[in-house]
Amino acid sequence: MKKAIFLDRDGVINEVLSDRVKFVNKPQDLYFLPGVPEAIKKLNDYFDFIFVVTNQGGVGLGFMKESQLKKIHDYMIAELKKQGATIHDVAYCPHKPKAGCECRKPKSKLIVDLSEKYDVELSQSYMVGDTDTDIIAGKRAGTKGVFLGKSDPLADAVFPDLISAVDWIIEDSKV
């Protein structure tokens, strides 16, 4: 069985609600947070897969088309690849926030579906996010949870940003 890192996108990989960008609705709105390419590159050395799992209610709300979202993700993957970092797949929920779908975090369908597709052992994997819905989705799927921010009582670990979390995740995965 393989091990994976599941990363939320907005607030983990890229800026959102910042001085430069409110929401990412086109590729040129995507700004990586400090240390993200290096963090993903380092995780690539220890994990079989790095996935992005993200709620993108802006599609359901009409702020962007699904084809635009795919362009953003293609751009993100290509820009990371230029820096030696690999994202293996992206799963997203395009539905409105209160649509009641099965794929919107805190439900775990995005994570579980990727794990089945790639033969991933969820108990040996990690969900990294910046909201409690990310941590809850990971826990429901069976992963460990790493929260990026100040505190989250459900998380296995808390760090200010992805680059700060990497060494802990790698060490914890060896246990």
Catalytic positions are: 8, 10
Pairing assessment for the beta strands 144-148 and 126-129 based on DSSP bridges: parallel
Q: Choose among 46, 48, 175, 113: nearest CA to 156.
A: 175
CA distance 56 to 10: 9
Contact 43, 164 (CB under 8 A): no
For 105, the 3-state DSSP assignment is: coil
Instruction: Quickly list H helices, 24-108.
Output: 36-44, 57-60, 66-82
Contact 156, 142 (CB under 8 A): no
